[in-house]
Amino acid sequence: MFVGIDVGGTNLKAGLVDGEGRLLAAARRPLHFSGAEAFAADLAELALQAVRQGGAAPEDLESVGIGLPGAVDGGEVVYTANIPLKHVPLERLFRQHLDIPVYLGNDADCAAVGEFFCGAGRGCRDFVVVTLGTGIGAGIILNGRLQGGAASSEAGHMAIMQGGELCNCGRRGCWERYASATALIAQTRAAMEAHPESGLHAAAEALGAVDGRTAFQAALAGDETALAVCRQYVEYLAGGTTSLINILRPEAVAIGGGVAAAPEQLLLEPLRRIVEQEAYARHGGRVTRVVRAELGNDAGIIGAAFLEKVL
């Protein structure tokens, strides 16, 4: 059995996972960061809690995997986005509390590993998961091995618009500046400002806020402004997706993150159409399937648990 730990910006989740990828038990706690040593102790304690809840014992564990929002290098956390971990030897610190093999991974990579074994990527050898969130994360598995290593993939920072909008990374025109959930929300807000008559306003009110669902809900109700926002967003999403497909030629690309739950006819169907028209495979060769990720929030836990199989 394995434990996978998903370190989020505000919560820690640990799951006990069997060899088939079934989540047997899960434990969670809020993240209160008070230093790397205490953080490692918290993670070990949470792992043991998941083990106990699943009716197992620490001796039953083969390994623990930890997915983090940042970059890792072997047993070291190089940096994380929301937690002040910089060059922290997390594997060593963790093993002071629970001495079993520990694997570290980037969270987008873990989502890809989870989907690869238990979700949308089952049966593939070459597979990519694009996670649409605050930014865009891409987990890339080729020939059954996770790619990127220490740096993890920064596919969200390939430019789809030379000289375009300024990204947090300092470059202009990055894909995530146009096709992340954050970007979709900004595009929705801009359309609302320009079109006070649009049904986007009612949709936002019904949802309690402008979020990644607003444009899709209003578009479903037939609002023209919302439809235009969705079409433009899918164009942006397709731009980067097509480039990834042209470079990597995977068997499948799965789209994950909250935005991926949008109605099929407004997101995945038009995305597939554009990719089909634009990907190089229209000239021949392997055609990549574009699918929805299947595991939702569990992908990170299951993927972290199975990191040892793809590193």
Site residues for Zn ion per CB under 5 A: 157, 167, 169, 171, 174
Q: In which element (H, E) is residue 185 found?
A: helix 181-194
Least CB distance from residue 184 to Zn ion, whole Å? 16
- Least Cβ distance, residue 161 to Zn ion (angstroms): 11
Nearest to 83 by CA among 4, 30, 28, 156: 30
Minimum CB separation of residue 157 from Zn ion in Å reads: 4
**Closer residue to Zn ion in complex, CB, 75/164:** 164
99 CB-contact burial (10 Å; exposed 0-12 / middle 13-18 / buried 19+): exposed
Give the shortest CB-227-to-Zn ion separation in angstroms: 28
Beta carbon nearer to Zn ion, 94 or 233: 233
- In contact, 241 and 271? CB cutoff 8 Å: yes
Q: How far is CA 26 from CA 6, 40, 63, 103, 302, in A?
A: 11, 18, 16, 19, 11
Q: Which residue, 53 or 182, is less far from Zn ion as judged by CB?
A: 182
**Bridge partner residues of 4 (DSSP):** 15, 65
Closer CB to Zn ion, residue 170 or residue 196?
170
Shortest Å, Cβ 168 to Zn ion? 6
CB 215 within 8 A of CB 222: no
Cα–Cα dist 136/236, whole Å:
12
CB 174, min distance to Zn ion, A:
3
CB of 187 to Zn ion, least distance (A): 17
Contacts of 303 (CB under 8 A, 6+ apart): 4, 65, 67, 105, 109, 110, 111, 112, 113, 114, 115, 116, 117, 139
CB of 2 to Zn ion, least distance (A): 34
* Calculated CA dihedral for residues 197, 198, 204, 205, nearest 10 degrees: 40
Taking the least distance from each CB to Zn ion, the nearer of 29 and 79 is: 79
Residue type present at position 299 = A
Q: Which one, 39 or 233, has the nearer CB to Zn ion?
A: 233
Of 167 and 220, nearer to Zn ion (C-beta) is 167
CB-nearer residue toward Zn ion: 137 or 270: 137
Element containing residue 190 per DSSP (H, E):
helix 181-194
